[in-house]
Amino acid sequence: MRSLDEQVGLLFAWGARFISGTCGRWVDCEPSTRQRVYFANHSSHFDILVLWSSLPRDVRRLTRPLAARDYWESSRFRRYLVLRVFNAIMIDRQGHGGGMRAAYESVEATLKGMGDQYSIIIFPEGTRGDGEHIGPFKGGLYHIARDKPGVELVPVYLENLNRILPKGGLVPIPMVSSISFGRPLVLQEGEKKQDFLDRARQAVLTLQEG
Amino acid sequence: MDKLTILFFGSVLGLLALGTLCAAFLRRKQAGATAQAVGATLKARVMAWWAMCGVMAVAMLSGGIGSVIVFGLSSFLLLREFITITPTRKADHGALFWAFFVVLPLQYYSLYTGWYGLFIILIPVYAFLIIPIRMVAAGDASRFLERTAKIQWGLMLCIYCVSHAPALLKLSLPGGVSEGFRLLLFLCLVVQIHDLTHTLLEKVIPGHKVAATLGARESWEAVVLAIGLSVGTGAAFAWATPFSAAQAAGMALGVSIMALAGRLCWTAIQNDRGRQGVVVVHTRPPMIERLIPLCFAAPLFLHLTRYFFTTGSLAGF
């Protein structure tokens, strides 16, 4: 017997697919339950749900999105969704009064939440973009890659989602979107932080182009 | 189902079985490249029809509500696709909400309850007014006419026109609902025979182009053959309809001309949006491409039937 939270999760996954018609396109990457970091461009609050729904069910069970505390804890419904259904790791966003210390704590919380079996979903831009341009990546991805050397870093590109639920929109509008998973990256020996972040961003841009 | 319906449905399934066999024959290893290509197209089409027949049988057996749900869902998926390939702006979000979650259910509700007055004016009149009003409320005037026109086009094509096909089940015909069902099957059959003939002929004979400036692949030879074949099919299945053979042929003629127009308009939409805009709908052929001939033919077929062959007053279905 599945738990209620899991049933709700299935319902949401089904609903997200009905609205967005998304099925994942695994371009240079196979679905797997091994520990991974999925990093994607961010343009809509719908992103987490759609990315999470497009993963196969056994992978989904072992994947925890990173969610910004200020948004997701602002109502009971969101809190239920993000904690019980998505099993998310809550993060205090940088630039919300925290600075370096908050950034450090976010990485700590993420590593703790990953343990040695959970994969995570992160949006390294840190905030939602306009859906066309992908902003510069923040450092968290680098720190996770450095502290978890065995983990695969999978670039993901989400298309059309900001048309489904743009900034300020309340109800998602049905639209066909696509979600592509690219070739996993690994942090090279001695690679500088900025070089790595640029390379990771480039991997998402490559998916956007083709 | 009555005997006539079973017989008609059975013959359609027979045609499908024949199509499946033909496709398998064409796709055998020794066949040439052209035959292989024709076979592959035929197989894809026939498979889609099997599914469609299954869905229609379920719709018929479950009564009126089944067909409303099936066609309502088709409208939803079509509109979702149409909006995807149409550029919309952030300010259109509210208007699109109305389109999907108010207009679409209301149109099929009016069909379900047999409220002909609402069914016929909801989208051409009220949605036509509500969409621009909602856009004005969103406060973005850039390309205003273009944006309202695109959404209105989507509503007319994907909801209004599509809903005219299941509306056949609502007509007060002498043979009742099962006669409506046979008419729906007749309409789908004629449209599909026409569309299939075109698609296959394009691969076999190049011919003289109908609309070369559009870049459409249709040739005059294919047009004549496809219309001829669908008129023939219509006449051959007159026994399943309230029409005489000549009337059935005339209906099939009207339907296939509209279906041809639908194909050409789809080419025009593709040109307008560019291939780039259309491939957003990844991996499979867009559903609109398959259904646009039916969208174009359904209103004409419904209205001709309603005007000349129904028994009730013209105030209702």
CB–CB of B93 and A159 under 8 A?
A: no
ipTM of the complex: 0.78
Mean pLDDT throughout B186-199? 92
CB–CB of A174 and B83 under 8 A?
A: yes
| pLDDT of A120 | 94
- Residue-wise DSSP of B79-123: HHHHHHHS---GGGHHHHHHIIIIIHHHHHHHHHHT-HHHHHHII
Does the pLDDT of residue B250 top 90, yes or no?
Answer: yes
Mean pLDDT throughout A150-172? 89
User: Nearest Cβ partner of B96 from A25, A168, A173?
Assistant: A173
CB–CB of B84 and A25 under 8 A?
A: no
User: Cα–Cα distance between B256 and B254 in angstroms, integer?
Assistant: 6
User: Nearest Cβ partner of B90 from A25, A166, A178?
Assistant: A166
Q: Where are the domains of chain B?
A: 65-163
To the nearest whole percent, how much of chain B has pLDDT over 70? 94
User: Cα–Cα distance between B156 and B237 in angstroms, integer?
Assistant: 30
In order of B11, B248, B249, B252, the CA distances from B235 in angstroms are 14, 5, 5, 8
Q: Between the ranges A146-150, A182-186, B67-71, B101-105, where is the mean pLDDT highest?
A: B101-105
Collapsed DSSP state (helix, strand, coil) of residue B169: helix
Are the beta carbons of A52 and A63 closer than 8 angstroms?
A: yes
Which residue type sits at A128? R
- Residue-wise DSSP of A162-208: HHHS-TT--SPPP---EEEE-PPB-PPTT--HHHHHHHHHHHHHHHH
CB–CB of A173 and B84 under 8 A?
A: no
pLDDT tens-digit series, residues A188-204: 888 899 999 999 999 99
In order of A32, A117, B243, the CA distances from A29 in angstroms are 9, 19, 58
Are the beta carbons of B16 and B53 closer than 8 angstroms?
A: yes
Report the run of H or E that residue B299 belongs to, with start and end.
helix B287-309
In order of B7, B108, B166, the CA distances from B177 in angstroms are 16, 17, 11
3-state SS string over A91-146? ECCCCCCCHHHHHHHHHHHHHHHHCCCCEEEECCCCCCCCCCCCCCCCCHHHHHHH
Q: Within 13 A of A39's CA, how many CA atoms are on the CB side?
A: 31
> Which of A83-97, A135-149, B68-82, B215-229 is predicted with the least confidence, judged by mean pLDDT?
A83-97
Collapsed DSSP state (helix, strand, coil) of residue A38: strand
Pairing assessment for the beta strands A152-159 and A119-122 based on DSSP bridges: unpaired
Q: Between the ranges A15-29, A31-45, B270-284, where is the mean pLDDT highest?
A: A31-45
Q: Looking at residue A76, what DSSP letter applies?
A: H
Residue A62 touches partner B, C-beta closer than 8 Å = no
Helix pair B245-278, B64-85: axis angle to 10 deg: 40
Positive/negative CA dihedral, B291, B297, B302, B303? positive
Largest CA-CA distance found in chain A, in angstroms, rounded: 48
First to last CA, chain B: 21
Report the run of H or E that residue B182 belongs to, with start and end.
helix B176-204
User: Cα–Cα distance between A105 and A98 in angstroms, integer?
Assistant: 9
CB–CB of A174 and B90 under 8 A?
A: no
> Which of A58-62, B18-22, B79-83, B173-177 is predicted with the least confidence, judged by mean pLDDT?
B173-177
The token pair that represents B81 in the structure block:
């696709």
User: Nearest Cβ partner of B83 from A166, A171, A175?
Assistant: A175
Does the pLDDT of residue B205 top 80, yes or no?
Answer: no
| pLDDT of A192 | 92
Are the beta carbons of A55 and A32 closer than 8 angstroms?
A: no
Q: Looking at residue A40, what DSSP letter applies?
A: E
| pLDDT of A94 | 58
Does the pLDDT of residue B97 top 60, yes or no?
Answer: yes
| CA-based nearest distance B116→chain A, Å | 28
